[in-house]
Amino acid sequence: MPSNKSVSDAPITQFVNCRILKDHRLQWEDLWVREGKILNPEKLFFDEEGYADHKVDCGKKIIAPGFIDVQINGGYGIDFSQASGDIRRGVAQVAKKILEHGVTSFCPTLVTSPPDIYHKVIPELRVQDGGPEGAGVLGIHLEGPFISEQKRGAHPPKFLRTFKAGGVADLMETYGHLDNVALVTLAPELANSAAAIRELSGRGIVVSLGHSMADLSQAEEAVQNGAMCITHLFNAMLPFHHRDPGIVGLLTSDRIPPGRMVYYGMIADGIHTHPAALRIAYRAHPAGLVLVTDAVTAMGLPPGQHSLGQQQIDIQGLHAYVAGTTILSGSIATMDMCVRHFREVSGCTVEAALEAASLHPAQLLGISHRKGTLEFGTDADFIVLDDTLTVRETYIAGQQVWRK
């Protein structure tokens, strides 16, 4: 228990016999937790003369930051883009289930929908901390409706919109308000998009480029206006061409403003992106890769037809199609599956695979000072994995919330 010099009477837990992911490498170190935060043991020993109340033997397993999924449309029969029923209960159901896949925080994602759906759903999706009841909500990801008709993918064309005047008026008319919004995907080639990008970025909302016909110069201009991410790289955008690499060219562009980083989402499910394409992207720009599931309603459900926003999707094996077509419509992959697949086909280190699902999304959202790492003082959201990168335990704020 803490000594009389301790700054807190809260119990201290020491995780031992583990390799922790810190400073970009796995290290044989203990992990100390108090009051939901990662504790600096040196300060505990020398300043407080305290010690652990509880010890947890991890059996030589890996401790890594909890996964963060910034693009997930639903799962387990729940569609975040549907306004029917109890919206909060549906989000809570998904939040609870994804704990077993190592996800401790996520961004519920809404696909292209009519304004009345946004006006009903957005107020219900509030930022909240995670805990035993489920993963935390970091904010909403609005994917559409300001996207290209030619690259709409599974998004219903009748609900697509353009920027009439640009800026806040079009955004508010469509979404109702932007409270609790963390990220917006849009096509930068749309007329008047620059003002919208500046408005969103100025509010601290991440702008991601996707479902777009943009060439490289249009994408670079969008980044100069504040955009900082690419939505599911390679999917729903112009293919790479040596004379104009399109949005993909942002990975090696020399027109990114100094001190800025462009991140890019990758659906590493073995279906959306060929392993060779995934390797090209990773080797060109490893620090920007953010693993996403882009999971849809049918994640965790058997094959058959399910809803996604205003459309029906058909699950065949590991593929999710717009019903009656061969158009891919999100994935049914879980985040731990994506991490393992990425590690296998990219040849990257275990550390890099884990950081692509934790540190990088935290950096994208500007929250790496409290999530996505095991640095002292950060939130004690972490997972315990075996050497196959199978999640064995999930912790939020230092409390075990799931165990295999």
Residue 3, pLDDT above cutoff 70 = no
Q: How confident is the model at residue 43 (pLDDT cuts 50, 70, 90)?
A: confident
pLDDT of residue 304: 83
Q: Can you tell me the mean pLDDT for 147-169? A: 90
User: What's the distance, Cα to Cα, between the start and end of the chain in Å?
Assistant: 29
Q: What residues does 70 pair with on adjacent strands?
A: none
Give the pLDDT confidence of 85-116 residue by residue, as tens digits. 789 999 999 999 999 999 999 999 999 999 99
pLDDT of residue 5: 56
pLDDT of residue 1: 45
Question: With the C-alpha atoms ordered 251, 71, 153, 214, is the resulting torsion angle positive or negative?
Answer: negative
Q: Which amino acid is at 341?
A: H
211 is in an annotated binding site: yes
272 is in an annotated binding site: yes
The conformation of residue 217, written as its DSSP 8-state character, comes to H
Phi, psi for 261 (deg, rounded to 5): -125, 135
Q: Can you tell me the mean pLDDT for 193-200? A: 96
Whole-structure pTM value: 0.95
Give dist(CA 180, CA 141) in Å, integer. 9
Mean pLDDT of the chain: 94
243 is in an annotated binding site: yes
pLDDT of residue 6: 61
Give dist(CA 122, CA 219) in Å, integer. 28
Q: ω into residue 145 within 30 of 0, thus cis? A: yes
143 is in an annotated binding site: yes
152 is in an annotated binding site: no
pLDDT of residue 363: 98
Give dist(CA 245, CA 280) in Å, integer. 13
pLDDT of residue 4: 41
Residue 49, pLDDT above cutoff 50 = yes
Give the pLDDT confidence of 255-310 residue by residue, as tens digits. 999 999 999 999 999 988 999 999 999 999 999 999 999 998 889 877 888 777 77
* 154 or 118: which leads in pLDDT: 118
Verify whether residue 79 is a known catalytic residue.
Answer: no
Give dist(CA 29, CA 21) in Å, integer. 9
Distance of CA 242 to the CA centre of its chain: 30
Angle at CA 40, nearest 5°, toward 365 and 106? 25
Angle between helices 168-175 and 193-202 (to 10 degrees): 80
The conformation of residue 165, written as its DSSP 8-state character, comes to S
* Residue 332 exposure: Cα atoms within 13 Å on the Cβ side: 24
Give the pLDDT confidence of 315-332 residue by residue, as tens digits. 887 788 888 888 877 788
pLDDT of residue 48: 78
**Catalytic position from the list 170, 215, 294, 314:** 294
Structural domains in the chain, CATH included, are: 12-64+377-403 (2.30.40.10), 66-365 (3.20.20.140)
* 348 or 321: which leads in pLDDT: 348
Give the pLDDT confidence of 5-16 residue by residue, as tens digits. 566 789 999 999
